């Protein structure tokens, strides 16, 4: 985890070092990825965003913004039709041919390393702030971000406990999966001062016996996942869950997936909300 994080931050810094001096004019931005879009919005550039990808929430000021589909399957012409001057998204945006064509069209394309940690979110906010010449605003966002994180820590310290949290997620539209080490959910649960119930790497299918062994105090889910299993009542019917402290007290926390796993400016606030919910 640690080396990966340092690698990510290092890569970010390299990207930043290579950047030319920027104009203050924000231009027309296509934002790819929930975290990137939310960051740009928080930096006051919601109005400059001319399109977002399928995984982003549209900026608050611009709710009807066009969608360019899944960020790995962009249509070069579709994006160009929006006459963007700047495309910001995660590494992996594609297909490679479309990225090539977008760059060749003269638009600026900045692809940032994927973020799966709170520190990564901070670094990305800083990076985007510099990319769009909003460093001062980024510093402001980060101040609020750090304040929320500190509050999350305080809440956790105040309770003196570290509740076990089980994160369930619908993976690929099929079965219910449980998050393990190295996942984005792991980072968020940790930031909220709780312990992730799940000792495996990555995601693993939810089984009744696995749930009993995990002994969660709280279940964390996204609205989409909850709908996927048929609602809260259906969730509690899982035979394994009934035998856990979470099942007995029916403790469920539901957070929107883009906010929870997007690692944008709200990540600090989400960590604080989670801490408050977990340590109640």
Partner 1 sequence: MNAAALPLPLGRRPSRMGLLAGLSLLAALIALAVGAFPLPPAALISALLEPLGIDLGRHAADQSFVLWHIRLPRVLLAALVGGALGISGALSQGLFRNPLAEPALIGVASGAAIGAASVIVFAGSWLAALPAWAGAAALPVAAFVGGGLCTALVHRLARVDGRTAVDTMLLAGVAINALGFAAIGLLQVIADDEQLRGLTFWLLGSLGGATWSALAVGAPLMLLVLALGPLLARQLDALLLGESEAGHLGVDVQRLERRCVALIALAVGAAVALCGVIGFVGLVVPHIARRLGTVSHRWTLPASALLGAGLLVIADALGRTLTAPAELPVGAITSLAGAPFFLVLLQRRSARR
Footprint on this chain of partner 1 (rule: CB under 8 A)? 51, 54, 66-70, 72-83, 92, 95-98, 100-101, 104-106, 171-172, 202-203
The contacts of residue 20 (CB under 8 Å, 6+ apart) are: none
Minimum CB–partner distance for residue 66 and partner 1 (Å): 5
Please state the closest distance from residue 46 (CB atom) to partner 1, in A.
19
User: CA-CA distances (angstroms) from residue 226 to 162, 176, 229?
Assistant: 24, 9, 5
Distances in whole angstroms, Cα of residue 204 to Cα of each of 28, 104, 231: 41, 41, 21
Which C-beta is closer to partner 1: that of 251 or that of 259? 259
Cβ-based nearer residue to partner 1, 203 or 278 = 203
Strand partners, 254: 221
Residue 94 C-beta: closest distance to partner 1, Å: 8
Cβ atoms of residues 60 and 44 within 8 Å: no
- Give the residue with the Cβ less far from partner 1, 86 or 164: 86
Minimum Å gap between C-beta 96 and partner 1 is 5
Beta carbon nearer to partner 1, 224 or 237: 224
Nearer to partner 1, 44 or 94 (CB): 94
Cβ at position 78, least distance to partner 1 in Å: 3
- Contact at 8 Å (CB) between 214 and 197? yes
Asked whether the beta carbons of 32 and 94 are under 8 A apart, the reply is no
Min dist. Cβ of residue 257 to partner 1 (A):
11
N-terminal to C-terminal alpha carbon distance within the chain = 29
> What does the alpha-carbon distance between residue 223 and residue 100 come to, in Å, rounded to a whole number?
36
Radius of gyration of the chain (CA): 20
CB-wise, 145 or 169, nearer to partner 1? 169
């Amino acid at each position: 985890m640690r080396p990966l994080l340092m690698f990510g931050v290092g890569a970010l810094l390299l990207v930043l070092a290579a950047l030319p001096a920027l104009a203050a004019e924000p231009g027309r931005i296509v934002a790819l990825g929930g975290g990137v879009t939310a960051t740009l919005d928080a930096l006051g550039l919601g109005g400059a965003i001319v399109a977002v990808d399928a995984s982003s929430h549209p900026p608050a000021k611009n709710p009807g913004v066009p969608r360019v589909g899944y960020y790995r399957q962009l249509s070069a012409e579709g994006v160009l039709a929006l006459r963007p001057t700047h495309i910001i998204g995660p590494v992996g945006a594609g297909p490679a041919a479309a990225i090539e064509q977008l760059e060749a069209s003269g638009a600026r394309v900045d692809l940032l390393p994927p973020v799966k940690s709170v520190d990564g979110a901070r670094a990305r906010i800083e990076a985007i702030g510099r990319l769009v010449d909003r460093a001062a605003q980024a510093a402001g966002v980060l101040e609020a971000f750090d304040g929320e994180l500190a509050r999350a820590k305080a809440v956790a310290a105040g309770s003196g406990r570290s509740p076990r949290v089980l994160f369930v997620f619908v993976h690929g539209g099929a079965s219910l999966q449980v998050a393990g080490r190295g996942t984005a959910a792991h980072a968020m649960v940790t930031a909220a001062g709780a312990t992730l119930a799940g000792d495996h790497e990555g995601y693993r299918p939810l089984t009744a016996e696995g749930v009993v062994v995990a002994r969660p105090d709280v279940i964390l889910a996204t609205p989409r996942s909850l709908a996927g299993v048929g609602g809260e009542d259906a969730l509690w019917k899982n035979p394994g869950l009934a035998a856990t402290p979470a099942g007995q007290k029916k403790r469920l926390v539901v957070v929107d997936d883009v906010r929870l796993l997007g690692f944008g400016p709200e990540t600090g606030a989400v960590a604080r909300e989670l801490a408050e919910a977990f340590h109640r």
